[in-house]
Each structure stands twice: as C-alpha cells, then as structure tokens.
Copies of this chain bind each other. A is one copy, B any other.
Amino acid sequence: MNIVPICEKDFHQFWPEFEAIIQAQETYAYEPHMTYLEAYTLWCEVPQVCFVAKEGETILGSYFLKANGMGPSSHICNCGYMVSSNARGKGVARALCEHSQEMGRSLGYTAMQFNAVVSTNTVAVTLWQKLGFAIVGTIPNAYKHGKLGYVNTYVMHKVL
C-alpha cells in the first residue's frame, strides 16, 4: 500500500465509493446528494492536504487533514477518512490514520480532533480508541442515521 498526495484522477476513480458512503448516511455528515465538484472541493481542495492509499492502480481509501480551528485553536488538526468497500477489514483505516498523525505532527499540529464520529460506527470508534483517541464529548441525537434514526455523535481527541 502506498499513501500519496491525491490528484484529481484519483478522486475521480474514488468518487463512486465516496458517493456510496455519503448516500448511505451512516458515517458522514455530508449532503448525501452533493455533486462531484462539491465533493472534490470539500475533500481535496478546502483541506490543507489530502492523501490517497493505493495498491497498484486500485484506490483503497483516502483522507484529508486541515486545521480544526483558527488563531488560538490552530494547533489542533482535523481529519476525515474513507475506505473503499472492497478494501475494508485490511488495516487501511489504521494505516491512513497513522499516516495522518505523522503528517499532522510534521505540519506543526500538537493535537488531532474528530468533531462528529457517529456513535453507531463502532468499527471506527473502536479503531480510533485503539490508536489513542479519547471520547471527550457526546452530542445527543446529532446525526440522522439512514437506518437507525437519530443517534449520538462523539468528539474524539488525541495529543500528537
């Protein structure tokens, strides 16, 4: 697996996976029917950096990293991760998260924060906890899950 800066061709290839993830409405607080260009802007252009995990020409997943706040809170970064459906359970999310922590440190951030981890996404919650993130907040009914209705979200945090 190689983790390299994303290019538009990569995102184009990844777009069906991205679209399936947001349309499921189980993990991301994104507009489920956003356009390709809106998604590209949000995932690849607004963030400070964006990477893609590849095996040969196959896209395994992607993550972005950006500052979570401005000015007095600009020492904390924020990331989002997505893994392709046929690449799950193979350590891709862990590899992306570990890469992002190294990247965050090298960009001068001293902590990483996830603002809205869907509480029912136990695979993610458990993995982030294994990687040293703590649940530091619980927002009641903050996410309208595609199958389960309103569920809580967690704020998770780790010192880098």
A-side interface residues toward B, CB under 8 Å? 22, 25, 28-32, 69-76, 111, 113, 115-116, 136-146, 153, 155, 157, 159
A157 to B153, CA, bound (A): 12
Cβ of A39 to closest chain B Cβ, rounded Å: 11
Besides A113-B139, A136-B137, 14 new A-B residue pairs in contact (Cβ under 8 A), listed by A number: A29-B72, A32-B71, A69-B116, A69-B142, A73-B143, A75-B144, A76-B142, A111-B140, A111-B142, A136-B139, A136-B140, A140-B157, A140-B159, A155-B155
Min C-beta distance of A137 to chain B, whole Å: 2
Q: Which of B72, B138, B153, B159 contacts A143 (CB 8 A)?
A: B72
The residues of B that contact A142 with a CB separation of less than 8 Å are 69, 73, 76, 111, 113
Cβ of A155 and Cβ of B143 under 8 Å apart?
Answer: no
Given A115-B115, A155-B155, decide whether A29 and B139 contact each other with a Cβ distance below 8 A.
no
The residues of B that contact A159 with a CB separation of less than 8 Å are: 140
